[in-house]
Amino acid sequence: MSETNHRSVFWQGDDNNGQLMMIDQRDLPHSVKLVPHTTVVEIIDSIKKMLVRGAPAIGAAGAYGMAIGAMKSLATTAEALCDDLGKVKADLDASRPTAVNLMWATARILELANLMAEHQVPFELFRRRLLAEAHEIAEDDIRINRSIGEHGTKVVKQNANILHHCNTGRLATVDHGTALGVIYTSHEQGKNIHVWVDETRPRLQGAKLTAWELMRSKVPFHLVADNAAGLLMYSKKVDVVLFGADRVAANGDTANKIGTYKIALCGHENQVPVFACVPTPTIDLTIKSGADIPIEERSSDEVTHIGKEEIAPPGCPVFNPAFDVTPCKFLTGIVTEEGICYPPFEVSLKEAKDKAEARVRDAWKQRSQSYLSKA
């Protein structure tokens, strides 16, 4: 992460006695606190309480959670360990049901465990190799984000004013970022950009996290109230809208932080290009449309309180969905590590997903030789 040696999610120590470290994003921007995690229960709690957030970062945390689950398992056979990991996966996946990256990462670790069991890899090698694959998932996230940045900067003009929602940067990923990764890459290329940062109620990820990141990276920006986005676009002060996503359906419908739909709708009305920026693991081709994406509902105090201060009448009824769904017709395109997908999304998203999975399979073939070695 810029100006620090710490990623948002990283392993500290050796394979046998290490621990998962994560930045407590709830304490930002006032302090940078690193929290150690040595059990699956701790990781699940941190995901639920949004100590760690952002689909890619949650995915990496889930992969390390599976590795820690293997380390803590009392199983003495490969079959028993795989059974234990199946239960760990179910518990981790339930911690943030909208973020498909989490399910993707835990499935990848469980698949490796089952494969090693099938090939009769010595049981004493399992845990170290599962951790190695968790490391690979984290490193691949950074490579993917860099590629998203390179592709996405093509939609950012010189001197562009960019509207950004929520936080999609180094805190929401292992490092660099998705939509903010596009912004960082554009800034690195000297495009003289400026960013309008939505505060992003109710948890204020824009005000607390994105503003903190951009200040540290010296990217010009202004923080605005969420409801200012419409006026900015109406006044021709926005050239492009960029945001991330927690899940993208096969037709291009996009689930992202609550408030995204309203921004995309406003962009469409004002002829402002709107792009979601996502890694291909976020694309869920098993979901036909946004109507099938589960939407997490969170605690009422996120709306009734700012920090510890109550701003609503005691006992006020609250509806607090964490995400909304932007229909694909309001998106200009979807930026991935494989390129920019344009309508019809049913075709372009599948092409990007297939291309990415072929790349992953090729890399997997190279790694599997060492993973399936019996020495």
The residues annotated as belonging to the active site are: 246
Helices of type H across the chain: 40-48, 55-72, 78-93, 100-118, 126-152, 179-188, 205, 211-217, 229-234, 260-269, 301-304, 345-371
Task: Decide the pairing of beta strands 323-326 and 305-306.
Answer: unpaired
Model pTM score: 0.92
Give pLDDT < 50 ranges for the chain. 1-4
pLDDT score recorded for residue 365: 84
Q: Which residues contact 166 (CB under 8 A, 6 or more apart)?
A: 172, 198, 200, 205, 206, 210, 243, 244, 256, 257, 259, 260
Pair 276, 243: CB distance under 8 Å: yes
Q: Two tokens at 104?
A: 């993707």
What is the spatial distance between Cα 34 and Cα 325, in angstroms, rounded to a whole number? 33
355: phi then psi, degrees, rounded to nearest 5 = -65, -45
Angle between helices 40-48 and 55-72 (to 10 degrees): 160
Q: Which residue has the tokens 């890694």?
A: 279
User: SS3 of 115, please?
Assistant: helix
pLDDT score recorded for residue 186: 98
Pair 1, 170: CB distance under 8 Å: yes
Q: Two tokens at 336?
A: 């991935």
> In this structure, is the dihedral angle defined by the CA atoms of residues 262, 265, 267 and 270, taken in order, positive or negative?
negative
What is the spatial distance between Cα 127 and Cα 70, in angstroms, rounded to a whole number? 6
What is the spatial distance between Cα 134 and Cα 85, in angstroms, rounded to a whole number? 14
pLDDT score recorded for residue 57: 96
pLDDT score recorded for residue 16: 83
